[in-house]
Structure 1
Amino acid sequence: MRFMMEKQIHIAMLIGALTKGGAERVLVNLADYFAEKGYRVTMVTQYQKENEYLLNEKVKRVISDISQEETTGNRLVNFKRRFRKLRNIWKAERPDVILSFIGKNNMMAILTSRFLRIPVAVSVRAEPKEEYYHTWMRFMARCLFAWADGVILQTRRCFDFFPEKVRRKAIILQNPVSAVFFRERYEGVREKTIVAVGRVDENKNHEMIIRAFAEIAQEFSDYKLIIYGDGECRKKLMELVEEKKLSEQVLLPGSIDNVADAIYKAHIFVLSSNSEGVPNTLIEAMVMGLAVISTDCPCGGPADLIENGKNGILTPVGDIASMREHLRSLLADTQMADKLGIAAAGMAKTYRPEHVYGGWEKFLLSLLKNR
């Protein structure tokens, strides 16, 4: 450990882009934590896109994609050039450890850093079978992860995807939650709102919430459903809202920056995903003390967080009727909703930033020590 005390540790992080999503938010939060603690941090992304999370000004940003001039009509040539460029970034930056997030990035991190004597930790952020959706990708992940120095998984169920040689170097680390969500639980009269937060895509299945709410909207005409987030399904959902004649009760305002303030006084938080790792938005809603309803989706993240009927409610994936009845139950029984919210707020102790960030820091430093 003497090496660590005498030298500023350099952590490189790899992800596709910093567009607003759960995994991207976790990595940006980690980058901010390490930068503020005095570590040197380099964020490597393949792309730079619109609607990205803001990076701490102390974090260096490097783009790894090849330029338009370097791009050819041959996919193999393009891959070789991207591979070479990323490997050259590692050679130039010389990080002490690489932390990679999501899918192909994990494979590229392992392959491009081979024989450079840089420890690599790869993180699977969702159900492995979903994140590695082709047969060849699943085969490669199971093989290549054996070369990684550390593997970060979301739930115990994720371990079943990998062979024993990968499981031996795998660990579950909790998602860091922004400090803005840690506040006294709101004890006043709650707003008559049902809220959902997340990327508006097929997997998040916000259509399920809209259809469930549509069946009880007249019964609870003073309530609104608000879905915060943007994505390819937003237009389709807005058309569904018009079709159901619910434009006064169902709102899709798009992405916002002040999520904590927006949901703080809400009556119910809903997560309707078909699959998830451990959903950041669900953790955030629970630590703030909201009553939550979530699909019991693979790879088991919501089930790890929710003790059904005690600190939240689990409902089957895609089951609109079940979602409708759970919504009706909590809207009709505000005392039950309040009881669930109070119990959910107890999670705040587990997800305190100093506890969670410390776990990530300890793990990454252990990889340096092992090397």
Structure 2
Amino acid sequence: MKITCCIHSLSGGGAERVMAGLANDLFCRGHDVSLVTYFADDARSLSIEPGVLRACLNLDVTGQTENRTSPRSGIDRIRQIRSRITTLAKVIERQSPDVVLSFCDRMNLDVLLALRGRGLPVMVCERSDPASQGLGLVWNWMRSRLYRQATTVVALTPTAKDYLRRFSNHVIVIPSAIKTPTSYSNREIACANRTIVAAGRLESEKGFDRLIAAFARATQGHPDWKLVLYGDGSLRRQLQRQATELGINDRFEMPGWVRPLQPHLAEATIFCLSSHYEGFPSVLLESMSLGVPSISVDCESGPREIIDHGRNAWLVENETPALAAGIRYLIDHAETRESLGHHGREIIERFGWDKMVDRYETALARISSSTADAPSGANRTERPPGV
């Protein structure tokens, strides 16, 4: 197949890691793969196989080029959105794909707008909880209309599928997955570190403010424990200020984004997921696969599909006091904690990477073949060497 993959960027969290890995593996399985992003690659970007054609449009989410000022009026914003959609349509058409795969809500809508009436099969994938991830009044309305045009909509969990079925009759579930690690957490070293680790964008939905509050409460009698947050975002200063106000500044670190993340997760005594909502948290899968004892709030979508409470990880109510109590329990009960880490490694059997790629490949092949004889694909031209 000739597959065009679309995502906003290759820098950031779980969705970007899955898309990069998926594009690489589909290419290695013999498919002709291109990958379109709005943002150009930078030092934080994930690596892509040399044979995957890259198209970086250098646009932000409002459609403006990197060097332009922000739009001053609604008319300017509409013009910029139209410009973005037009550019995206031209790039995808020049690549002449058999099928298009798009990740993340706003990118999905742009792709569907760009390809309206063009006869190309499109698979769009929600990478968060669509019931909680609001796009604003206009874009929420657009999602309810445009998703009906997608050939297939992919949800991460059955709960998300139930929500998306109001927009589409063609919703399937493909959970995220994790590759088998090449090594595991050295628990003797990790336990001695007395470190709780979390990772993700420093934005409100990740709940890092309540993690900081829970950590401060849980470690009142354990001043030798520290908290490390990997990631970056708009709340960095606010979170740093909160840690200072709670008196834990000397036990709190925010190193930013690191690549690869796995070695840093492996050094954690405990991994913690504090999100208000999730899609299917890859970082939780990754920490469990390494044998790191993990605790998560029972937020909407994701963690409850992954965690068997008390066996492979610890699941607590979706509130700060419960998270603090859970952290304190795992600090005080090392034997239970390490048993969770041991059984957490079994997560690979349920959510192995190759199984996920198989499911995407099968679904893409099915929708591609269903439109193989359509007029829009009858006289496709060879795509250019680059964009």
Report if aligned partners of 2:144, 2:167 keep a CA contact under 8 Å in 1.
Answer: no
How much has 1:18 moved relative to structure 2? 1.9
Whole-Å separation in 2 of the counterparts to 1:14 and 1:359: 18
SS at match of 1:129: coil
2:289 pairs with 275, 279, 287, which one? Answer: 287
Question: In the TM superposition, what are the counterparts of 1:68-217 in structure 2 within 5 Å?
Answer: 74-163=76-165, 166=168, 168-179=169-180, 181=181, 183-184=183-184, 186-188=186-188, 190=191, 191-217=193-219
- Specify the code of the residue in structure 2 equivalent to 1:170: V
Report if aligned partners of 1:212, 1:324 keep a CA contact under 8 Å in 2.
Answer: yes
**Partner residue in 2 for 1:328:** 328
Report if aligned partners of 2:4, 2:33 keep a CA contact under 8 Å in 1.
Answer: yes
Change (3 A) 1:99 1:93: same
Whole-Å separation in 2 of the counterparts to 1:348 and 1:341: 13
Report if aligned partners of 1:103, 1:132 keep a CA contact under 8 Å in 2.
Answer: no
Whole-Å separation in 2 of the counterparts to 1:355 and 1:49: 28
Report if aligned partners of 1:119, 1:149 keep a CA contact under 8 Å in 2.
Answer: yes
SS at match of 1:226: strand
Whole-Å separation in 1 of the counterparts to 2:69 and 2:85: 13
Report if aligned partners of 2:89, 2:114 keep a CA contact under 8 Å in 1.
Answer: yes
Partner deviation per Cα, 1:321-342 (whole Å, 9 max, x = no partner)? 2111111111011001011112
How much has 1:132 moved relative to structure 2? 4.0
Change (3 A) 1:164 1:233: closer
How much has 1:357 moved relative to structure 2? 1.4
Change (3 A) 1:185 1:213: closer
The structure showing larger relative contact order (alpha-carbon pairs under 8 Å, at least 6 residues apart) is: 2
- Specify the code of the residue in structure 2 equivalent to 1:206: F
How much has 1:149 moved relative to structure 2? 0.9
Change (3 A) 1:258 1:78: closer
How much has 1:207 moved relative to structure 2? 1.5
Partner deviation per Cα, 1:84-106 (whole Å, 9 max, x = no partner)? 21111122110111111112211
Question: In the TM superposition, what are the counterparts of 1:341-352 in structure 2 within 5 Å?
Answer: 341-352=341-352
Query: Mean Cα displacement is larger for which, 90-99 or 64-73?
Result: 64-73
- Specify the code of the residue in structure 1 equivalent to 2:302: G
Whole-Å separation in 2 of the counterparts to 1:309 and 1:267: 17
Change (3 A) 1:212 1:163: closer
Report if aligned partners of 1:46, 1:63 keep a CA contact under 8 Å in 2.
Answer: yes
SS at match of 1:32: helix
**Partner residue in 2 for 1:12:** 4
How much has 1:49 moved relative to structure 2? 6.0
Whole-Å separation in 2 of the counterparts to 1:140 and 1:288: 40
Question: In the TM superposition, what are the counterparts of 1:259-274 in structure 2 within 5 Å?
Answer: 259-274=261-276
Whole-Å separation in 2 of the counterparts to 1:185 and 1:237: 28
How much has 1:349 moved relative to structure 2? 1.4
Question: In the TM superposition, what are the counterparts of 1:19-38 in structure 2 within 5 Å?
Answer: 19-38=11-30
Whole-Å separation in 2 of the counterparts to 1:86 and 1:259: 31
Whole-Å separation in 1 of the counterparts to 2:81 and 2:329: 53
Partner deviation per Cα, 1:90-131 (whole Å, 9 max, x = no partner)? 221101111111122112212222333321000011111333
Normalised to the residue count of structure 2, the TM-score between the two structures is: 0.86
Report if aligned partners of 1:311, 1:344 keep a CA contact under 8 Å in 2.
Answer: yes
Identity, % of aligned pairs?
Answer: 26
- Specify the code of the residue in structure 1 equivalent to 2:278: E
Report if aligned partners of 1:196, 1:270 keep a CA contact under 8 Å in 2.
Answer: yes
Instruction: Name structure 1 gaps, 5 residues minimum.
Output: 1-8
Change (3 A) 1:337 1:71: closer
Report if aligned partners of 2:178, 2:352 keep a CA contact under 8 Å in 1.
Answer: yes
- Specify the code of the residue in structure 2 equivalent to 1:304: E
- Specify the code of the residue in structure 1 equivalent to 2:312: N
**Partner residue in 1 for 2:46:** 53
Query: Mean Cα displacement is larger for which, 88-97 or 36-45?
Result: 36-45
Report if aligned partners of 2:219, 2:328 keep a CA contact under 8 Å in 1.
Answer: no
Report if aligned partners of 1:182, 1:348 keep a CA contact under 8 Å in 2.
Answer: no
How much has 1:278 moved relative to structure 2? 0.4
**Partner residue in 2 for 1:3:** none
Moved runs in structure 1, 4+ residues, more than 4 A?
Answer: 66-73
Partner deviation per Cα, 1:136-155 (whole Å, 9 max, x = no partner)? 33332222212111111011
Query: Mean Cα displacement is larger for which, 140-149 or 51-60?
Result: 51-60
- Specify the code of the residue in structure 1 equivalent to 2:115: S
How much has 1:309 moved relative to structure 2? 2.2
- Specify the code of the residue in structure 2 equivalent to 1:26: V
Aligned residues: 359
Whole-Å separation in 1 of the counterparts to 2:68 and 2:228: 44
How much has 1:209 moved relative to structure 2? 1.5
Report if aligned partners of 1:182, 1:288 keep a CA contact under 8 Å in 2.
Answer: no
CA RMSD of aligned residues (A): 2.2
**Partner residue in 2 for 1:219:** 221
Report if aligned partners of 2:179, 2:348 keep a CA contact under 8 Å in 1.
Answer: no
Normalised to the residue count of structure 1, the TM-score between the two structures is: 0.89
